[in-house]
A and B are shown apart, each in its own frame.
Chain A
Amino acid sequence: SQKIEQNSEALNIQEGKTATLTCNYTNYSPAYLQWYRQDPGRGPVFLLLIRENEKEKRKERLKVTFDTTLKQSLFHITASQPADSATYLCALETTDSWGKLQFGAGTQVVVTP
């Protein structure tokens, strides 16, 4: 069966350090992988999209890598700040399921001063 796995344990990190989140998937051949941020009581907000033929994408302090051999994406927040505290969701879309973005359960990040 298809699975998207994100670490269910919260990631506690000190301000200024780099937070690294993992998204592993099985039985998918994703065309795109996306990362979203979700704050309590709010809808997810899009952060980054990476295509299957791209290895890395950056946006300000955020970096995403995509390894289709390992079936894994890593999401990095560099120089983390307390305002980065939130839950981060990864989502996959495959070429045979357009319109059906599949989400992981998310990883909570807590940045302490």
Chain B
Amino acid sequence: NAGVTQTPKFQVLKTGQSMTLQCAQDMNHEYMSWYRQDPGMGLRLIHYSVGAGITDQGEVPNGYNVSRSTTEDFPLRLLSAAPSQTSVYFCASSYSPNGEKLFFGSGTQLSVL
């Protein structure tokens, strides 16, 4: 099993550009989420999904969109990149949204110039 796969691993964008960070899991997990990690700060939840067709906002959703058309995939879209979105992004999944351990991807390091 590959687990949680994120692509790309690194990305550089110019301010105003848009892009999609890909996330796929092969564990048939219902719950998937996106976090960003900045130096000196904890992981902050951007968006999450408890199943195909169901998404909700986390702590820092502004500037990001998500959709969940299949159980396996949960892409994160940056609509118009800003320097404040420079961060490391992690996708995670689990069997259910409560009381279960999260499986994380290896991360995407994004720089917005």
Taking Cβ atoms with an 8 Å cutoff, the residues of A that contact B are 4, 8, 31-32, 34, 36, 41-46, 49, 51, 89, 91, 93, 98-106
Contacts and interface: CB of A to CB of B under 8 A. Distances in A.
Contact of A101 (B41, B102, B105, B107): B102
Given A4-B42, A43-B92, 16 more contacts: A8-B40, A34-B101, A36-B102, A41-B107, A42-B106, A43-B90, A43-B104, A44-B102, A49-B99, A93-B99, A98-B98, A99-B48, A100-B58, A102-B59, A103-B42, A105-B41
A38 B59 CA distance: 21
B42 A43 contact: no
Interface residues of B, number: 27
A111 B113 CA distance: 37
B95 to A, nearest CB: 12
B14 to A, nearest CB: 25
B74 interface: no
Nearest to A5: B42
A101 B45 contact: yes
Contacts of B101: 34, 46, 49
Nearest to B42: A103
B97 A98 contact: yes
A31 B97 CA distance: 13
Closest 6 CB pairs of A and B: A43-B104, A99-B97, A103-B42, A46-B101, A103-B43, A98-B98
Nearest to A32: B99
B68 to A, nearest CB: 13
B33 interface: yes
Contacts of A44: 43, 90, 102, 104
A42 B107 contact: yes
The interface centre, meaning the residue of B33, B45, B101, B103 with most chain A CB atoms within 10 A of its CB, is: B101
A47 B68 CA distance: 28
